[in-house]
Each structure stands twice: as C-alpha cells, then as structure tokens.
Structure 1
Amino acid sequence: MPFLFRALFLLLLPLLAGCTSLYFPPPPQVPLLTQKGEWSAGIHTNFSQNTAVQGAYAISNHLGVMGSASFLHANKKQSFFGSKNDRQTQDHDFVEGGLGYFTRLRQDRRVLEVYGGLGVGSTKYSEYSRETNVPTETREGTLNKYFLQVNYTSKEKKSFHVLGRDWPFTYGTALRASYVTLNGFRLNGLAHAPEDNIFLEPITYTRIQVLGPLQLQMISGSNFGLKHRKYLKAANSVFQLGIVVNLGGQNGEK
C-alpha cells in the first residue's frame, strides 16, 4: 500500500508544476550498468508532452557512455483546471551525451554511477490572443548545457502483490547538477540579453518488472535554480513515466 500511495503522488506531481521556463529538463538517465557489453534503452514522457529517448552502453567493466534526445511540441488551448485565456505553443528539442564510471558495491547489492556530459538544443515559446489568434509574445533561443550526475540504486528486488500476481521492483536515487545557458535569445523578435542558470535536480526512481527485461520506470523529484532568472528558471517538472530495457548485465538482470 505505501508503494501505491507513492505512485499516486508521482502522477499528481506534474499538475503542480509551472510551464513558464524555456528549459524543459530531460529525465536524468539511470542506465544502472554493471559489466562490459551491457546496454540500456528507454523511452519516457510526462503530462507536459516532454518525451525523451535514451540509450547507454558499457564499453568496459567500469566505463559507460550514454546519450538521449528529448522533444516537446505542444499546442495548449486548455489547462487541467479549465480553458486558458490565451493559446500557448511550445517547441523544445534537445540532445545530450555523457561518459561515466560505474561500479558495484556492498557485495554486488548496489550500483553506483557517475556521469558527466554536455547537451545542446533549441527552444521556443509563443502565446496567442484568443480573440485574434495572432502572437502576443514569443521567446526563442538556443540552449547549451554541461552536467554532472550521480546515480545510486539497490539491485535487491522487492515486490508488491496486486491483480493476483507479485510485481518485483527496484528503486534508487540520482542527483544531477547542470549549468545551462540561453544564447541567441530573442523576445518578440528582438535581441535580448542571454541568461544562464545552475540547476540541481534530485530525483527518486522506481522500476517495476513487467515482462522479462522490460521494466516500467517512474521518476519523480525536484528542480532547483540557484540563480534568479526570468526566462531560464526551474519551473518545469522532472516527473517522467517510461519503459526501460537492460540486457547483458550481471546475472542477466538488475
């Protein structure tokens, strides 16, 4: 039952998040690599339509590479609480890659990963008058990002019983620190001063084994901006729901 309450909280969390920032964080990738030749792949999305495709590969027993592509193309005429006064469109495309170290701890019952990397992308926000359907405000620019991330998880599976069967699950935590810059920034078509920010994104994640190596993954956490910024701030949810597959790992599974 505590697990079900936690899952319900995860589903409601994105409804509390705002959407006024030009930065939509992709979900922190947690491949949980354990040995050479293992690979991980996943796809995640959320209620803001921020979707990410991710992959990682262990090139040695302690060295891994990972990459992801995320995109958001939304045309919002209504909010969860009713009609909006203005129509909003959001276009956000972002790619990132990283290199890192992984190891097994506590008699192979834990996995620790440390990754560093960079990302690039483009972002645009437009707001339209409901009466005239012409843009009343546009914001656009390019994003550059440098990040450092630490993942820590338990490989010991627990389970909960529902729908007449046991569902094995594992869980863990991650912390990502990112330095993001908004360059070539244009407000209503006119050049505007660039912005930058430092984001801290602590998350927790739970993986439920559905069938074989196929796992359902839920990510929830917070997003903190260490600098006060108007257009590049921590206003968007890091909640994600997705599917993850790991193959070639220790004992064939996590």
Structure 2
Amino acid sequence: MRRFVPRVLLAFVPVLTSCASLYFPPPPMAPLLTQKGEFSGGLHTNFSSNTALQGAYALGDHIGVLGSASFLQADKKQSFFGSKANREYNEHNFGELGMGYFTRLKDRRVIEFYGGYGLGHTKRTESVEGATTRTLEGNLEKYFLQVNYSKKESKVWHLFDRDFPVSYGAAMRASYVQLQRFTIDGQAQETEDNIFFEPITFTRIQAVGPIQLQLISGSNFGLRHRKFLKASNSVFQLGIVVNLGGQEGRK
C-alpha cells in the first residue's frame, strides 16, 4: 500500500506540470435582450486577471448584435508544485463580434441564439530566476455558436433591510479556435486547432436600478488532444451587468 500511494501521486505530476494552454476563454455573453433598442453592457474579471468588457444592442425586436474585448496580463508560477523562481508571464488580448436571434417566451423567460467571430494575440514568456528560457507567441482565430437561456426560477434575498431580486440563467457555447503564426523563440511551429465546449451558469443579483452583480461559473472542454491549445483554463468570472431599455419583468 505504501508503494502504491507514491505511484498514484506521480501519475498526476505530468498533469499538474504540463504546458498550460495559450487560450484563455472570455466569458460567454448573455445579454438576454427583449425588444428593439435595448442595450446590455458588462465588465467581468477573475482571479487570473482575465478581464472582459462586453456590450450588446437589439437592432430589431428579435435581432441583436454583441461584442466583447478581453485582456489578460498575469505573472505566476509555471507549475503548481514548482519553485517560485520558475515563472511564466502571459499576455492575452482577444476580441469577438456576434449577431443572432432573441425572443421572449410566454412565461417571461428569454432564449437567444448567436453566432460570431473572434481574433486575438497570445504570448507566454517563461523564465527561471529572472532569465528568459522560452517565449511562445501566436495569433488566435475563432468561430463560435452560442445559446443563452434565462431560467424561470427567481428568488429574493433579504439583506440589510432590503430585498435583492436574484435570477438565474445558462449559456452553452461551442467554439472552433485556431492558433496561427505560432512561434517558439522566434522559430515557426506547426499550427494547432481545437473545438471547445464551454457551458456556463450565471446568477444575477439586482443591486441598484439597472445595475446587476453577476457570478459566472462554468467549464471548458477541448474535444481534441493538443499540446498548446487545450482546455486548461476554466470559465469563471465576477462582474457587473447593466440592461437599459428592456421589457419589464424578471429575466
């Protein structure tokens, strides 16, 4: 039994120390539009400093457009059990545009369908005791399909002698991502691609007026085995959402 435990731990070491992904997914946007002229905007971030600025607008009673820009600059250890002297610095800038259909159901739930395109640039610099050991850099191109759904269930939290309406929803996104013009230390490498499935749930708390606090929790699954473009970065965000010009009622 004593010999078995170390072997089990060693089996997980390659997973914990393997090369991290060069793709940091932005949070799927769920504006939950209801009528022409409505605007939805949001600002989200997480513990990895992956920050996203998002906006959506209803061009018609059922046609909406959305866009987002995400930025990340993070300095961390190369591996969970590794030395603090072994660092990696990530720079990740990414933008998305999408267009789709939305409608409100009879019971006031909202369902949306979007398709879109994104592109960006990613760079990782690895170092030991301040000396650069490897630099990975490339461009990212992305196509995505997404479904958003606002659940009927809602609650009211009573805090500080006030009522805070709470609503819930879900989004499912499938993305095809390509890593292009990929280099390691300036030397050209083979391109990579992957298909990601990114299901999320979100909770919104009505704070003041049209301002809502939002928690996004989800996962990221890569359907292909890749070395540098894989699903090792989860979808988790905290943020603020503002909806202006929408129909009355929970959503």
In structure 1, runs of 5+ residues without a counterpart are: 1-15
Q: Specify the alignment match of 1:7 in structure 2.
A: none
Residue 115 of structure 2 corresponds to which residue in structure 1? Answer: 116
- The 5 A counterparts of 1:202-217 are 202-217=199-214
Looking at structure 2, the residues matched to 188 and 228 of structure 1 have their Cα atoms a distance apart, in angstroms, of: 23
The amino acid of 1:190's aligned partner reads Q
Secondary structure of 2:36's match? coil
2:67 maps to a residue whose letter is G
Match of 1:134 among 131, 136, 144: 131
Q: Tell me the CA shift for residue 75 of structure 1.
A: 2.4
Aligned partner letter, 2:135: T
Count of residue correspondences: 235
Give the 3 Å change call, closer, same or farther, for CA 170–80 of structure 1 in structure 2: farther
Deviations 1:165-219 (A, max 9, x none): 3221110111000000000000122111000000000110000011111000000
Deviation of the 1:80 alpha carbon: 8.7
SS at the partner of 1:29?
coil
- Cα separation, 1, equivalents of 2:155 and 2:114: 27
Identity rate, percent:
67
Query: Equivalent residue for 1:165?
Result: 162
Instruction: Work out whether residues 203 and 221 of structure 1, in 8 Å CA contact, stay in contact via their aligned partners in 2.
Output: yes
Q: How far apart, CA to CA, are the structure 2 residues paired with 1:19 and 1:221?
A: 22
Return closer, same or farther for 1:55/1:191 CA change in 2, 3 Å cut-off: same
- The answer on 1:35 being equivalent to 2:35 is yes
The amino acid across from 2:190 in the alignment is A
How many angstroms apart in 2 are the aligned matches of 1:101 and 1:81?
46
Taking the aligned partners of 1:225 and 1:81, their CA distance within structure 2 comes to 24
Return the TM-score normalized by structure 1. 0.87
Deviations 1:111-147 (A, max 9, x none): 00000000000000111111xx221121110000000
Give the structure 2 partner of residue 8 of structure 1: none
Q: Counterparts in 2 of 1:74-85, with a 5 A limit?
A: 74-76=74-76, 84-85=84-85
Residues 34-89 of structure 1 show CA distances to partners (whole Å, capped at 9, x for unaligned) of: 00000000000000000000000000000000000001012236999896241211
Q: RMSD of the TM alignment (CA)?
A: 2.1
Distance of aligned partners of 1:19 and 1:113 in 2 relative to their CA distance in 1, 3 Å threshold? farther
- Bigger mean CA deviation after superposition, 39-48 or 78-87: 78-87
User: Which residue of 1 is the match for residue 98 of structure 2?
Assistant: 98
- SS, match of residue 84 in structure 2: strand
Larger radius of gyration: 2
- In the alignment, is residue 238 of structure 1 matched against residue 226 of structure 2? no
User: What runs of 5+ residues in structure 2 fail to find an aligned partner?
Assistant: 1-15
